[in-house]
Structure 1
Amino acid sequence: MSYDATQVQWDAPVPAVVRQLQMPALIIGILGAVLAIVAAVLDFRQFLHAYLFAFTFWNGVTLGAMVLLMIQYLTGGGWGILGRRTMEAAVRNMWLMALFFLPILAGVLLNKLYIWTDTARVEADHHLHQKATYLNVPFFLGRLAFYFTVWIVWAYFLSRWSLEQDQSGDKKLAQKLRNLSGPGLLVMAITMTFSNIDWLMSLEPYWFSSMYPLINMVGNLLSAICFTVALVALMSDMPPFKGLIASKHFRDFGNLMLAFTMLWTYTSLSQFLITYSGNLPEETPWYLNRLNGGWGYVAASLLVGHFMLPFAVLLQRQVKDPGKPLIYVGAFIIFMRMVDLFWWIKPTYDAGHGFHAVEHLSHFSLTWMDIVTPLAIGGIWVWFYLRNLQQRPLIPRHDPNMKEAFAHGGH
């Protein structure tokens, strides 16, 4: 079948099966928020520990979608055009993540989250004092403002110029989006690296790893890819995707999920092997706290569920070609991404901080706050996401690569 734009239902609304998810998401978000407020009143410090984990995951999906969107603009091709609106809807939630950071900001200002905010302890601790030039509250706040300013500005122009392209069909806008995406990827790499250092690695300021930010960035991209693929697969047999999206598109999506699953495994294993071979007292406690006291079972579940199972499943062509099985594969990987971040963050607070943390090994614990906070942020995030998705046509009609997207599917 040849390319024929008249055959596409450009103005088809978001399928009902997706729109129907909006109200349950809002209800879950509101109920979760109420319970989260109760948690904050009962134990603000414990609430912050759970909240940081929840924020990290959903912020990762948002940032990962922005990076994935810019990669698609730069590389072109038909593989990602059909999923572009799902990425843009996530990117337009960037302002929401800035608001969601406020409880963490309160934790920093009230000295409830990071030990380097305790000036008395910093003065008394030689190692913390050496890092005080970087790890101090005023500089932290300045970097925080810079991160979100950059992210929101980039999200704004990616969204605005895409909408203008839909309305006018001006081909110059496609070039502007590519020009924005090139330096944008470099800026995202830098800001995501330092935000990971500030918000996560500084939880244990005695410990450091050059691989740590990269692992989380790869995980963010994997989360965004799985979210995008699962949603597109869900809508694939309904207008406007029906008859347009083909098995080759899903094969590409599945291969992309497989590639980033392998990259996450490679970076994670590299960090472990470097730490294991070095056997340095300032590095090994991080893993000792995450391989003992019940946390070893979580680590084993990550090896199986975050790598072995997805790797084996995504190698199968019959899983990728129909598209629908990718809904379940994507949802499972997203769940394992949450487990991975929980394994990163939670043991920090149970074991204490410092070189002598090995004397107080963490023991696995899961509280109701660890469940409520991801549901609170996630429910509200998904509600705004689906609202964003319904504001524009699901197919970017005037994109100059649209013909290639058709041809990619065999049309």
Structure 2
Amino acid sequence: MTDVKNTDYRVGNDGFWARAWVVPLVLAGVGGLMAALTAGPERLSYAYLFALFTIVTVMLGGIFLVLIQFLTAAHWGVSTRRIVEVIMSGAPVVALLALPFIFGVWTGKVPVYQEWQEATGHGAHHDEPADEHGVLGLAGSVAQAQGHAEGHEADHETGHDEGHSHTAQETTLHHEIIEAKTGYLNTPAWTMRAIIYLLIWSVIAWLYFGWSRRQDEDHDPRHTLRMQSLAAPLLIVFAGALTFAAFDWLMSLEPSWFSTIFGVVIFAGSAVAILATTILIGLSLYKRGLVGEAINPVHFHDLAKLLFGFICFWTYVSFSQWMLIWYAGIPEEATWFHKRWEGGWMFVSYLLIFGHFVAPFLLLISRVQKLNLRWLQAMCFWVIFIHAVDIYWFVLPQAGAFRIQLADIGALLFVGGVFFAYVFWQLGRVPLIPVGDPRLQRSLHHHQTH
């Protein structure tokens, strides 16, 4: 770490962080061109959804971490909270980035939800019968999944005949399942809910970031009391918005599939993403002396412990989802995992098992590892990468066989670049720690005597 001590906790006019926002902005431009020039509308729609929701989870993790710190009146994380607040404050930027996608869904130009849009007459080609990627295709996939379970007990000829029978039966069944959901899964309702989610997140972020910034100026403890009193009800509202956004934007890609724990899985991934991002930004500021001793190695150790805990929690809920679906063996549930256990997607599934749990678990379990800042930094880069892979695994199997395209990378660079250009720019405008918080002094001396 540099010996320079920053007494006002601001970035200043010199050094990397004074112009750090330029880097992601350039990447956004490169990524936008890459995505626009290398993919057709359908693939680009899936790529954009993947990129958008990856950044949405980081922002949602920020809202959660801010609200939970106020709810618990925790003092230890006060000095690291400003980083999270700035990330959270990017909610309106996320909303702006989401508007083209929402408009595309509304007009039928974004075909990722074509299956249920056709069922409700809102798809781009709703006068045509569903093609192989629609209800018939899904029915065949379900029949194939069921056939795998039964194929070991039947000979080849019988299995072939049964496969055709299952396809016809499942076609009718899935028409009925999707039609039964049209009261919820229809374009006007989906669009209205998407706007409501974005408004909820943006309002929470605007209120809390605004109050925290005001407290920097007036040092009024009433701001803390107000934010603390609202944290519990807003967490309930936030949790509902996150859960149903996960249902609407990801789970409805395959509308006959359902998982009541799906929102919890997305929440766990969001918590992992924000903790890793906070550690990385905090380490960069700390090593350049921009936060003085306000953020010390013990703060990073505590954040790393939370990161480790939420990695384990993500594993628990992800395994629970898989285990219950596997144990029940219901075809319309099993087909979702069946798609992700074929071809190249099987490799991605194994990568998530080992990369999202086994490796981080073994490499972060020790206190020594969590206190080694270089090691922790490397692990956080890996965790963010594997989190993006996780969202990719949720979205892209619906587009077909596993094949990474430049549009996927370009879309992530564009959405992530725009978002983090704002975050880095905002970090240059505000104190890097909440200097007016009445609990700041306790955070500054957190565990330093141990």
For residue 264 of structure 1, the aligned residue among 314, 317, 336 is 314
**1:81-100 equivalence runs, <5 A:** 81-100=78-97
Partner of 1:406: 444
**CA displacement at 1:8 relative to structure 2:** 6.7
Mapped partners of 2:70, 2:375: distance in 1? 27
Cα separation, 2, equivalents of 1:395 and 1:94? 20
> Which residue does the alignment assign to 1:10?
8
Asked if 1:273 is matched to 2:323, the reply is yes
- Which whole-Å CA distance do the structure 2 matches of 1:406 and 1:101 have between them? 38
Provide closer, same or farther for how the CA distance between residues 239 and 273 of structure 1 changes in structure 2, counting only shifts above 3 A. same
For 1:38 and 1:296, the matched residues in 2 are separated by 29
- Kept in 2, the 8 Å contact 1:78–1:406? The answer is no
Counterpart residue identity of residue 37, structure 2: V
Mark the runs of 5 or more structure 1 residues left unpaired by the alignment. Answer: 1-6, 351-362
Q: Check the 8 A contact 1:77/1:405 in 2, yes or no.
A: no
- For residues 153 and 197 of structure 1, the distance between their equivalents in structure 2, rounded to whole angstroms, comes to 21
Alignment equivalent of 1:192, drawn from 242, 245, 268: 242
1:59 equivalenced with 2:56 (yes/no) = yes
Equivalents in 1 of 2:9, 2:277: separation in Å?
23
Deviates more, 1:52-61 or 1:364-373: 364-373
Q: Secondary structure at the match of 2:340?
A: helix
Shift of 1:240: 4.2
Segment drifting more, 240-249 vs 175-184: 240-249
Q: Is 1:299 the equivalent of 2:298? A: no
Deviation at residue 202 of structure 1 after TM alignment: 0.4
Candidates 292, 295, 299, aligned match of 1:249? 299
Q: 1:315 aligned to 2:315? A: no
CA apart distance, 1:367: 1.2
Letter in 2 for 1:326: L
- On the 8 A contact 2:265/2:317 being kept in 1, the answer is yes
* Residues 1:382 and 2:428 aligned together: no
What's the counterpart of residue 21 of structure 1? 20
Instruction: Tell me whether 1:348 sits opposite 2:409 in the alignment.
Output: no
In the alignment, the residues of structure 2 paired with residue 269 and residue 89 of structure 1 have an alpha-carbon distance, to the nearest angstrom, of 33
The residue correspondences of 1:81-230 to structure 2 (distance < 5 A) are: 81-111=78-108, 112-114=111-113, 115-118=115-118, 119=121, 120=126, 125-230=175-280
Shift of residue 320, structure 1, vs aligned partner: 1.6
SS at match of 2:255: coil
Alpha-carbon distance in structure 1 between the residues aligned to 2:221 and 2:280: 30
* Rounded Cα–Cα distance in structure 2 between residues aligned with 1:138 and 1:244: 48
Q: CA shift at 1:159, angstroms? A: 0.9
> Does the 8 Å contact 1:261/1:306 carry over to 2?
yes
Sort the Cα spacing of 1:110 and 1:378 in 2 relative to 1 into closer, same or farther, 3 A: same
Do the aligned partners of 2:58 and 2:270 also contact (CA within 8 Å) in 1? yes
Q: Indicate the structure (1 or 2) with the bigger Cα radius of gyration.
A: 2
The Cα of 1:207 is off from its aligned counterpart by 0.5
Stretches (4+) displaced over 4 A: 120-124
C-alpha separation in 2, matches of 1:347 and 1:207: 14
- Corresponding position of 1:48: 45
CA contact (8 A) 2:11 2:427 kept: no
CA contact (8 A) 1:28 1:376 kept: yes
What is the CA deviation profile of residues 133-155 of structure 1, one whole-angstrom value per residue up to 9, with x for unaligned ones?
00111111221221111111111
Instruction: Please say if 1:365 is aligned against 2:396.
Output: no
Checking the alignment, whether the CA contact within 8 Å between 1:79 and 1:253 is kept in structure 2 is no
Once the two structures are TM-superposed, the CA of residue 330 in structure 1 deviates from its matched residue by 0.9
Equivalent residue for 1:355?
A: none
2:152 aligns with none
Residues 48 and 103, structure 1, Cα contact 8 Å, conserved in 2: no
Query: Are the aligned partners of 1:233 and 1:324 in contact in 2 as well (CA < 8 Å)?
Result: no
Question: How big is the shift at 1:20?
Answer: 4.7
Contact 2:47 2:408 in 1 (8 A): yes
Q: Which amino acid counterpart does residue 273 of structure 2 have in structure 1?
A: S
Q: CA deviation at 1:298?
A: 0.8
Q: Deviations over 1:317-341 (max 9, x none)?
A: 2222243322211111000001111
Deviations 1:107-134 (A, max 9, x none): 3123312021112469993221111000
Q: Give the C-alpha shift of residue 406 in structure 1.
A: 2.2
Amino acid across the alignment from 1:216 = I
> For the structure 1 residues 194 and 274, does the alpha-carbon distance in structure 2 shift closer, same or farther, using more than 3 Å as the test?
same
Runs of at least 5 residues in structure 2 that lack an aligned partner in the other structure: 136-171
Counterpart-to-counterpart distance in 2, 1:8 and 1:339: 37
Counterpart of 1:233 (choices 283, 298, 305) is: 283
* 1:55 CA displacement: 0.4
| C-alpha distance in 2 between matches for 1:240 and 1:390 | 11
How far the C-alpha of 1:410 sits from its partner, in A, is 1.8
- Cα offsets for 1:202-221 (capped at 9, x unmatched): 00001000111110111011
Query: CA contact under 8 A between 2:78 and 2:434: conserved in structure 1?
Result: yes
1:187 Cα deviation from its structure 2 partner: 0.7
Secondary structure of the structure 1 residue equivalent to 2:256: coil
Partner of 2:436, secondary structure, is coil
Q: TM-score, normalised by structure 2?
A: 0.83
Q: Which moved more, 1:73-82 or 1:8-17?
A: 8-17
The CA distance in 1 between the partners of 2:235 and 2:349, in whole Å, is 31
Alpha-carbon contact 2:9-2:291 (below 8 Å) kept:
no
Paired residue total:
391
- Write the distance in 1 (CA, Å) between the matches of 2:348 and 2:112: 24
Partners of 2:30 and 2:60 in 1: CA distance = 26
